[in-house]
Amino acid sequence: MLCRKINVAPAKIKGGRFSAFSLIEILISLVLGSLLLLSLSALYSQFLISQIKQDERLLLQKEAHQLINYFQQHIQHLGYQGQARADSNFALFEQNGQRYALVKPSCFVFFYDLNNDGCLGKRATKNTACTQGELNNTKELAKEIFGFKLENKEIYLYADNQLINCSREQCKSLLSSCGNSWTKLTSSELFQVTDLAFSWKKQDQLLQIDLALDSVKSPQINYRVTAYTYILNTL
């Protein structure tokens, strides 16, 4: 079978319209692209660092205010005593008529009648005397004794129940020092407490609390707060 020959003119591409990129142009494009990526990477890193710092500040702020609220919750009732005061034991623990001890700014110990039975600690029964001669005669004493102190950049709570059967002299040792048994309230693994100070803004009426926390992850980040607590009872 014979095929007919068809004459077709070859297509011509005009050189100027689809010219290839030169090596210099490619290199310039690569450099500009790399610079853009580096800039974006730097901006993202700065954003992450800023976000981490912001998270740390918020953590310190949250923890500081939770601690302040906890302090205020109890300090405002300092010295309170319920109306059923017959055979009370408050006098065994008072020092010169006071129901608190501010031994040093970073250590504050006090007590109040949390269960409203007129005694420090819990009466054995509703009508049981809280003293037996010169001895204390209540249970669960530590539940109505409160203490906050700063030690090794951590806050500790008073947690000593050994004075349950104390004599008058032993009972009064409660407000004479910051010794005895304490338990940790905060952990230095999360943050460090660099300042905790209690001071009277108005003696026996208005207490000032200064608290400062430092971040463990970013030591340059810190948070400080000053709060005031009115004492609801006449001391």
* Domain housing 185: 64-230
Residue 99 belongs to some domain of the structure? yes
pLDDT attached to residue 18 = 46
Confidence of residue 174 (pLDDT cuts 50, 70, 90): confident
Give me the percent of the chain exceeding a pLDDT of 70: 90
Residue 27 belongs to some domain of the structure? no
Residue 128 belongs to some domain of the structure? yes
Residue 19 belongs to some domain of the structure? no
Number of Cβ within 10 Å of residue 218's Cβ equals 15
In angstroms, the CA 56 to CA 190 distance is: 10
Please state whether beta strands 191-202 and 206-215 pair in parallel, antiparallel, or not at all (unpaired): antiparallel
Asked whether 159 and 195 are in contact (CB, 8 A), the reply is no
In angstroms, the CA 159 to CA 182 distance is: 5
Asked whether 74 and 223 are in contact (CB, 8 A), the reply is no
DSSP 167: B
Give the number of domains in the chain.
1
Number of Cβ within 10 Å of residue 3's Cβ equals 5
Q: Which residue has the tokens 């990477």?
A: 41
Using one digit for the tens of pLDDT, what is the confidence trace for 94-135?
Answer: 998 899 999 899 999 999 999 999 999 999 888 899 999 999
In angstroms, the CA 88 to CA 171 distance is: 14
